[in-house]
Amino acid sequence: MIRLEELTIHNYKDCINLELEPGQVRNLTTNAISIAQSKYETHYQTRAIYKHEEVIGFLVFCQEDDPEESELYWLFRFMLDKAHQGKGYASSVLGLVVGEVRALGGKRLHTMHKPSNTNAASAYRKYGFKEIGVLDDGDILLEILVD
């Protein structure tokens, strides 16, 4: 069973120790950096991804704050450990994130990925995200309606 739990003193090291395949490292900021950012960006929602009692991934999402938009959320960090990729867990995790965003009053969820990150592109599209543009840094912007 896949579940999300808040990042705590009990699981943050497990999240830091998760690994990507060597070719994926360039696509994502490290979990350690994302965790550090969350201590100063207090609106960040950090989650450890569990399969049963094992941490298998990490994600961060937040409400749009520049400018503040209460119905728009961003999923801007999402990774599964290399040993747990390709097993269909991404759809389960995305469903859980959508549920959390909906419970918080969100109506739309944005995410992004580098054009070279074909695994992320496939997972997001499979779940129902639609490409809506390209960000200034070249990342592909996607959206799903969550209401």
pLDDT tens for 85-118 read 999 999 999 999 999 999 999 999 999 999 999 9
Closest C-alpha to 64, from 101, 24, 98, 119 = 101
Closest C-alpha to 2, from 75, 115, 99 = 99
CA distance 104 to 102: 5
Mean pLDDT, all residues of the chain: 96
Cα-Cα end-to-end distance for the chain: 24
Extract the runs of DSSP E, i.e. beta strands, from 52-121.
Answer: 54-65, 68-80, 108-113
Question: What token pair was written down for 94?
Answer: 């995305």
Task: Look at 53 and 147; give whichever has higher pLDDT.
Answer: 53
| Residue 26 pLDDT greater than 90, yes or no | no
| Residue 35 pLDDT greater than 90, yes or no | yes
* 130 Rama class: left (phi>0) / alpha (psi -120 to 50) / beta: beta
| Residue 84 pLDDT greater than 90, yes or no | yes
Residues 6 or more apart whose Cβ sits within 8 Å of residue 70:
63, 105, 106
Position 122 scores a pLDDT of 94
Q: Which amino acid is at 117?
A: N
Domains of the chain: 2-145 (3.40.630.30)
